Structure 1
C-alpha cells in the first residue's frame, strides 16, 4: 500500500496560543518497504503519524492510500478503513486481564470474526512471533520483548495492509530492540507490508528502515534512502542525529568507530557498499604526491548495506590535494571539507 501526503497542515490551540504541529508536509511513502519518520521531541512526528493513520483529520491537505483519498471518509467508511491498519505502541497497550492469546484475539472479536477463524489466526500469529508456547500466559508474566511480540501479533491479526510502529522499541533494552527490529523486517518481507516507523532513535532507522524522512519544527527537512542520508546528510538536524548515533556493539555486524585524535580531521570521507572494503587511500597516496593521516573511521551496518565514514588530513600542496579530492569524488567517495 503506497501512502501519499499532500500539503498536510495541523494546528492545535494551547495555553500559549496556536501551535502548528504539521506545517505543509508532502511525502510519498513507497509500498512494501519500511519507512522511518524521525524527529526530536516536539518536532511534529507524532502529530504527523496521527494524520497518516487516520486518527485525526488534517486542517489542510490530503492523505491518499494508493489512489484513494482517505482523510475525508464518512464515519462508517473511516471505521472500516482503520480496521485495515495495524498499530504498535511504545508501552505495548496490552490488557493485563487477558492472556497473551486473548490479547491477540481482541481486535478480531471487535471486527466480528468467527470463533474458529479467531482461534486459528491466534495460533498462526503466536507462531509468527515465536511465542507458540506462551498463548495461555498472563501478560504480567511476559518480559518486555515478549509483550512487544504479542503486541505485534495483535496488530497483524486482522491482516492489515499498513503497520504503524510508534516508538515501538523505546521501552526496550538494546539487545531486545535489535531482535524486535529484526522480527519486523522479517514479517514485512513475508507479508509484503508497508511499515511506517516513528522514532527519535537513529539506531532504529539504521537497523530497520529502507527510507527515512527527518522532521523538525513541523516540516520535513530531509528525505531519502537510509544509505543516502547516512552517507550525505544535508540538514543540521540529521547531522546532529548521526553525531549521537550509538554504535552497534555486538554480533557480526558490530559497528566500530575508532578515534585516534580529538582534533577530528580536515576532510570527512563517506564510502558506500563495496567501497567500504577497498584500499582507497592507499591508491590515492600512490597516485598523487600527498600523505594522509587518519583521525577516525568506522562503518555503519544498515539494513540495506554498509556506509563508512573516515576523518582524515591530507598533507601536500594545495594543487595535489585538490587533484586527490577530485579523484575520490570521481570514484564514488563523497568528500566534505570539515569546518
Structure 2
C-alpha cells in the first residue's frame, strides 16, 4: 500500500528508499548546510542504489565530515535489488562499503544512523567505531488510548496548563529568538550551535508542509514555551523545545501531547529525537514512550582528539566565567510573537556535489 498506512492495520506507509527520512531530502540538506552538502553515490547501471550525504567543514583547521546542524539522523540510504532477506542484507552492506570507500580522507567522521539501518557492520569492518544511541517513540493509536497511556501526573499538569494558557503558533524567526532569550534567562549563554541555519531549515520544512511550530501563551499573550516538530511519511520528530524557566511546568507536556496526538492522527510514529539525560527518560516514559536503539559511527584521528579536548576545556572555562560575570539585567524577558523579525529567504537549492561509484 502506497502513501500513509492503513489505520485498520496501523502499518506505516511506504517511503522512497533513497529518502528514508525527512533529513535525507535534498531541500533539508541544502537548507541545513547552507548549500554546502556533499554526497557519495553507488550506481547500478544508470540507477542510484545508494547515497551517503555529509557536510565537510573545518574545526581548528582540521577536516570533519559530519551531519548538518538540526539533523539528528542521517547515514546511508540504500535501495538494494529485490532478493531474499539474507541476500538483501548482504547487498546493503556491500553498497554501504562502496559508499564508505568514496568518503574523503578526514580527521573526523561522525553520523547517527537512521532507523532503517539494521547494523553498523559495514562501518566496523572499515575501522569505524560504533556505539548504541537511544531514542524513545510512541506508536500511533486512537487518541483516547494515547491519553489513557499518559501518567496521571502528566495528564494533570496538561489540564492545569490549559486553564491559564492558550495554544498559538510561531514563525521560525520568532522561535529562534525565543529560544535564545530562554537560554539567557537560564544563564546558559548564546545559542551558537545553529544560529545561521535554524531559520532557513525550519522555513524550508514549513514551505514543504512538513513542520509545525506550536507555542504556549499566557493570558497576557506572552509566549512562554514552544516546540518544533518535523515529519516524513512514517515518523514525526520532536526537533526542539524551549520554555521560560518561570512558566508553568505543564507547558512543554501540553505541547508534546498536541504533537503526539497530531502524529497519531496522521498514522505516524512519534519520535522524541534522542535521549539526553536520565530525566529525559522519565519524562518521555510519562507519555507511554518505548526505548529504541540507533547506531552512531565515528572515526577520529589522534590529532583531532587532542585539539578538540583543548577546545572543549577552553569553552567550558569561558562559560563558567560568563555565567559569573553576566549581570541580572541581561536576563531578559521572553519575546512576544508580535516582534517577529523579517522573513529569512531560503536560497534556491544547488545541485549536491556528488561522487559516484558503479556497482562492481
TM-score range (shorter-chain normalised) is under 0.3
Which structure has the higher relative contact order (CA within 8 Å, separation 6+)?
A: 2
TM-score (norm 2): 0.20
Q: Bigger radius of gyration, 1 or 2?
A: 1
TM-score (norm 1): 0.21
Structure with the bigger percentage of strand = 1
